């Protein structure tokens, strides 16, 4: 049992949001700069908090948690909340929203025609998942992936949020930055660009290079990706933390002075240092300068009424969810207590286990899941789901039993006039729980279009099992070639 003192935990969550606000406000005026900067502190008036989508979007994820509960958070739910409560249409946000409106479910919504999928829009909003899963990085990344793939698919942008969510969750119980980086790297593909850039930053530090030299090396390595991309900016955040050596002001200014997406690097650096050290780690003069309020720009407060107005209120509401989220994810090894923290049974090595993470990040990009209680279906395309008149499109249905009984599943298809589907009419699901080695049953289908193909077509597969009252309605959305 790892015992977390409630007051200490609350203080760390509060410091996370204050640090986020400080970094977003301090870095905001320099967002998009391509040169090294030389800031030493705030350039905005005292008491001014700049609005920042990094924090804004997480208020909507808080609403989703409060409205629907920890058990029900998935990418489809978060996608629906995007459409109602998040207003921007720029970059990956806009592409993800337009794809959702086409009928493409995540992660397809974040993959299709998305030249911003490797950018920064996901990893900047990971703190809420970390704060409700303190000391449980594998649970934090589970929520982070559901979040990120709405507008980043299965790409560098998603791996980046897995990394930051893991690091921030672990930071509630681990205070060594090298251990935290090791934990974060264990949760993402080792050959991805985010991992490569983070490793480069660490190698430069151990070679005693200046932070500016490390920054230039990161820029050169990622020149092919262009500006405003996740690998480089994640590395800039780590540069701030490494060369800052635990000093909040030094870490913050170094991260921002690397340039590029400076509100994001500063905000994440501040949030992580707040989690690691609590309010004691944040200089009193900077805390006083920024104040407690939250200013938003990227959410629809007219419909999402009741959102927190201050970091204090945000902290109280997030803290109130921690017990529910831990219980929902069977994190029984974490106890919230009134006595002192007790981390004597903490095994940092176990936090670096990659098995759960591999199952998360190995899912196909051109796929999506539909859960209907007793069965979970995954629709898997080989590539973009496009079809021409009289053309064919092959796809798979992967079906996994989520209850102990084996069952026969039958398929009934609802197709446009003139369209055809070929493939099995039924399949058998083996006993799954509690023996996961049996795995899913995979069926292959070929869809043949009629003479007329609309720009957007949704067909439905009704999957039913005798003796079960719930039928799964599986949407198959295809686009005209």
4-35, pLDDT tens digit by residue? 999 999 999 999 999 999 999 999 999 999 99
Question: Strands 407-414 and 426-429, how do they pair?
Answer: antiparallel
Residue with tokens 């407060």: 301
Instruction: Identify whether the C-beta of residue 143 lies closer than 8 Å to the C-beta of residue 62.
Output: no
Structure tokens at 295: 């200013």
Domains in the chain, start-ordered, CATH in brackets? 2-360 (1.10.4080.10), 366-480 (2.60.40.1230)
Q: Give which of 426, 418, 394, 409 is closest to 472, Cα–Cα.
A: 409
Would you report the helix, strand and coil content of the chain in percent, each value rounded to 5?
45, 15, 35
User: Residue 265: helix, strand or coil by DSSP?
Assistant: helix
Model-level pTM? Answer: 0.97
Report H helices in 47-126: 53-68, 75-85, 91-102, 108-111
Residues 42-45: contacts with CB under 8 Å, at least 24 apart = 42/286, 42/289, 42/290
Residue with the larger pLDDT of the pair 1 and 58: 58
The CA distance from 54 to 45, in Å, is: 21
The CA distance from 167 to 137, in Å, is: 7
Structure tokens at 289: 């300068």
- End-to-end alpha-carbon separation of the chain, Å? 55
Mean local confidence (pLDDT), 320-336: 97
Structure tokens at 57: 């979007």
165-202, pLDDT tens digit by residue? 999 999 999 999 999 999 999 999 999 999 999 999 99
| pLDDT reported for residue 435 | 59
Residue with tokens 């049974």: 345
271-310, pLDDT tens digit by residue? 999 999 999 999 999 999 999 999 999 999 999 999 999 9
399-445, pLDDT tens digit by residue? 999 888 889 999 999 999 999 999 999 999 987 655 556 689 999 99
Residues 451-458: contacts with CB under 8 Å, at least 24 apart = 451/389, 451/390, 451/418, 452/389, 452/416, 452/418, 453/387, 453/388, 453/389, 453/391, 453/480, 453/481, 454/480, 455/479, 455/480, 456/102, 456/103, 456/480, 457/387, 457/416, 458/103
The CA distance from 55 to 320, in Å, is: 18
The CA distance from 9 to 322, in Å, is: 10
């Amino acid at each position: 049992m790892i015992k977390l003192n409630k007051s200490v935990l609350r203080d760390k969550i509060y410091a996370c949001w204050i640090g986020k606000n400080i970094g977003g406000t301090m870095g905001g005026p320099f967002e998009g700069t391509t040169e090294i900067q030389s800031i030493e502190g705030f350039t905005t008036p005292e008491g001014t908090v700049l609005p920042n989508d990094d924090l804004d979007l997480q208020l909507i994820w808080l609403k989703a948690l409060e409205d629907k509960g920890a058990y029900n958070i998935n990418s489809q739910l978060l996608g629906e909340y995007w459409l109602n409560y998040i207003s921007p249409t720029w970059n990956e946000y806009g592409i993800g929203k337009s794809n959702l409106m086409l009928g493409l479910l995540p992660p397809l919504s974040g993959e299709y025609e998305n030249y911003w999928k490797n950018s920064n829009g996901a990893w900047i909003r990971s703190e809420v998942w970390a704060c409700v899963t303190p000391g449980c990085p594998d649970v934090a990344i589970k929520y982070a992936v559901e979040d990120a793939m709405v507008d980043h698919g299965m790409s560098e942008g998603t791996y980046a949020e897995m990394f930051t969510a893991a690091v921030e969750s672990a930071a509630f119980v681990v205070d060594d930055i090298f251990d935290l980086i090791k934990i974060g790297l264990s949760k993402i593909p080792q050959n991805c660009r985010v991992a490569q850039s983070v490793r480069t930053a660490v190698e430069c530090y151990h070679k005693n290079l200046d932070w500016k030299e490390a920054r230039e090396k990161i820029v050169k390595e990622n020149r092919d990706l262009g500006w405003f991309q996740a690998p480089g900016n994640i590395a800039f955040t780590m540069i701030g933390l490494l060369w800052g050596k635990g000093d909040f002001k030094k870490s913050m200014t170094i991260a921002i002075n690397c340039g590029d997406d400076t509100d994001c690097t500063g905000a994440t650096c501040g949030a992580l240092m707040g989690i690691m050290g609590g309010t004691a780690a944040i200089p009193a003069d900077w805390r006083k300068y920024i104040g407690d309020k939250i200013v938003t720009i990227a959410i629809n407060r007219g419909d999402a009424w009741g959102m927190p107005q201050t970091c204090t209120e945000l902290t109280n509401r997030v803290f109130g969810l921690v017990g529910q989220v831990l219980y929902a994810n069977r994190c029984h090894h974490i106890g919230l207590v009134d006595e002192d923290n007790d981390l004597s049974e903490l095994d940092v090595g176990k936090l670096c286990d990659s098995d759960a993470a591999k199952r998360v990040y190995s899912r196909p990009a051109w796929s999506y899941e539909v859960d209907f209680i007793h069965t979970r279906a995954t629709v898997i395309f080989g590539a973009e789901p496009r079809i021409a008149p009289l053309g064919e499109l092959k796809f798979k249905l992967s079906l996994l039993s989520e209850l102990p009984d084996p069952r026969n599943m039958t398929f009934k298809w609802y197709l446009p006039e003139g369209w055809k589907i070929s493939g099995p009419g039924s399949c058998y699901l083996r006993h799954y729980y509690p023996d996961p080695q049996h795995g899913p049953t995979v069926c292959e289908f070929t869809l043949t279009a009629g003479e007329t193909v609309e720009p957007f077509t949704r067909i439905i597969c009704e999957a039913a099992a005798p003796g079960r009252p719930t039928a799964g309605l599986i949407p198959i959305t295809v686009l005209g070639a």
